[in-house]
Structure 1
């Protein structure tokens, strides 16, 4: 009887949701974000896992200070900047709750939306993607993102309106099964689709950046587009694996035909012996 009671107590003490928040040089945003999360989840057991991805400013100090007042905070410190995919995987692996929610640490994602994500997950979705219906960014970020999403819908055969939004909710088992590296976090919906996940999308409030500067740039866009075609290639041939071997065979056939034609040309134009 005592053993059964102890298990029940442990289950009640576990968080209902794990927030996964990668941060890089966001010292001015930490205090506000932590307070907003506490207000939004006042009636929900949660843990907020902040992954400091090699920040060079006072981000770690701000997180340490905030943890004194908010014991729900957990901090993972990376010695250098590994990138968002690695930071997310570190958070997923550490998560204790059955649901993981990812959001950015720049205050553009509104923690007040978290209950809506939890409601969508409770209706049977394995992955819920945020859709920044009214995006509060400058044209330099919105235009590349619109192009990127349009290419993504065409290349990856997805109907999501905002594939690249970082505000997402996951069944934790699904999140932990992902293998993210490089810039593959951009293609989480497609990777989850390949695992048979039920995916939905909800509109979310998007806010302008208050402090710091965006980490987005043209190099990231180019890498993202290249990765997009890589994922599209994998998706296509996972669904129809024999097509891969057919195309490889076609390439070898074409190479053989070109080589044979060249040798015949040499034979009759120069009289050179072949074979």
Structure 2
């Protein structure tokens, strides 16, 4: 079995040689069905400005199982993971950060867990070695994501994950959705998702590349992911429901205004009349958006047949 490691890199030159050594060491200790694991390591350079690329070139010169995908500028972790996913060759895919906080010694444990039949194994940084200002927002983020998605994981944001190949073939990662890969996999029908506690080490070199804005992005992405999980294949269920609610409220208000008009009261300047007309228009627009969304999905379904959705075929 070939195991592909996808490792985004952004200005982590100091850790790369040691990371490579530990990954190879632990990959060679791993087995799949009692057979040795073969490996490939795909480093995705996300616009580094230090010596990361040069170091990866040297690693490749000494080991042709090491590969490099290099971006022209910093596009973010989601873009890096997507590029790696589209270039893997292995039946098992493991993602991890390049800062040595993810402990490669956990690799055999993750592969063993996959062998039990799981589609995705997520790392849980049970004893997280980060400052409190990172841990507390992360706990809130994970609690909200678990509640909204219905997936009972403690650490969605941990990059240290192991996947069966069919999982990463079925999902697309963009924006900041790398935090929600278990949710994206679940949406595609991969429900055998679990987590294991992993050792999390203190950062040895450099500093974190993520600022406070990641929490705002996380909030918006949580809303996006939850919407995709529930309504991507049936937008009319969302837009149609709210369209009918607003339309019905508007209709009731206008009927009430009409009754008052026939009773001889002046309604031309009453705010309720404008509110009723506004609700009807908003309801019509929402309902129309739902219909357009359904037409787009129907058209896309006719044009593209996604083999990755098929679990078994004779």
TM range (shorter): 0.7 to 0.9
RMSD between aligned residues: 2.4
Return the offset for 1:264: 7.6
Note closer, same or farther for the CA distance 1:271–1:173 as it changes in structure 2 (3 Å cut): closer
1:180 aligns with 2:173: yes
Note closer, same or farther for the CA distance 1:61–1:235 as it changes in structure 2 (3 Å cut): same
Return the offset for 1:238: 5.4
Which structure 1 residue ranges, 5 or more long, are not aligned? 1-14
Q: Corresponding residue for 1:235?
A: 229
In structure 2, C-alpha distance between the alignment counterparts of 1:31 and 1:129, rounded to whole Å: 25
Note closer, same or farther for the CA distance 1:241–1:74 as it changes in structure 2 (3 Å cut): same
Q: Corresponding residue for 1:19?
A: 5
Contact 1:109 1:167 in 2 (8 A): yes
Alignment coverage as a number of residue pairs: 260
Note closer, same or farther for the CA distance 1:165–1:259 as it changes in structure 2 (3 Å cut): farther
Note closer, same or farther for the CA distance 1:192–1:270 as it changes in structure 2 (3 Å cut): closer
SS for the counterpart of 1:94 is coil
In structure 1, C-alpha distance between the alignment counterparts of 2:95 and 2:59, rounded to whole Å: 19
Return the offset for 1:185: 1.0
Return the offset for 1:48: 0.4
Q: Corresponding residue for 1:220?
A: 214
Note closer, same or farther for the CA distance 1:70–1:243 as it changes in structure 2 (3 Å cut): same
Q: TM-score, structure 2 length as denominator?
A: 0.76
Note closer, same or farther for the CA distance 1:270–1:101 as it changes in structure 2 (3 Å cut): closer
In structure 1, C-alpha distance between the alignment counterparts of 2:136 and 2:243, rounded to whole Å: 37
Q: Corresponding residue for 1:252?
A: 247
Comparing 26-35 with 211-220, which one deviates more in the overlay?
Answer: 211-220
Note closer, same or farther for the CA distance 1:248–1:66 as it changes in structure 2 (3 Å cut): same
Note closer, same or farther for the CA distance 1:250–1:110 as it changes in structure 2 (3 Å cut): same
Q: Return the match for 1:150 from 143, 158, 174.
A: 143
Q: TM-score, structure 1 length as denominator?
A: 0.87
Q: Corresponding residue for 2:162?
A: 169
SS for the counterpart of 2:224 is helix
* Equivalence map 1:79-228=2 (5 Å): 79-197=72-190, 198-228=192-222
Structure of higher RCO (CA pairs closer than 8 Å, 6+ residues apart): 1
SS for the counterpart of 2:86 is helix
1:36 aligns with 2:22: yes
In structure 2, C-alpha distance between the alignment counterparts of 1:128 and 1:175, rounded to whole Å: 13
SS for the counterpart of 2:113 is helix
In structure 2, C-alpha distance between the alignment counterparts of 1:212 and 1:108, rounded to whole Å: 12
Contact 2:7 2:43 in 1 (8 A): yes
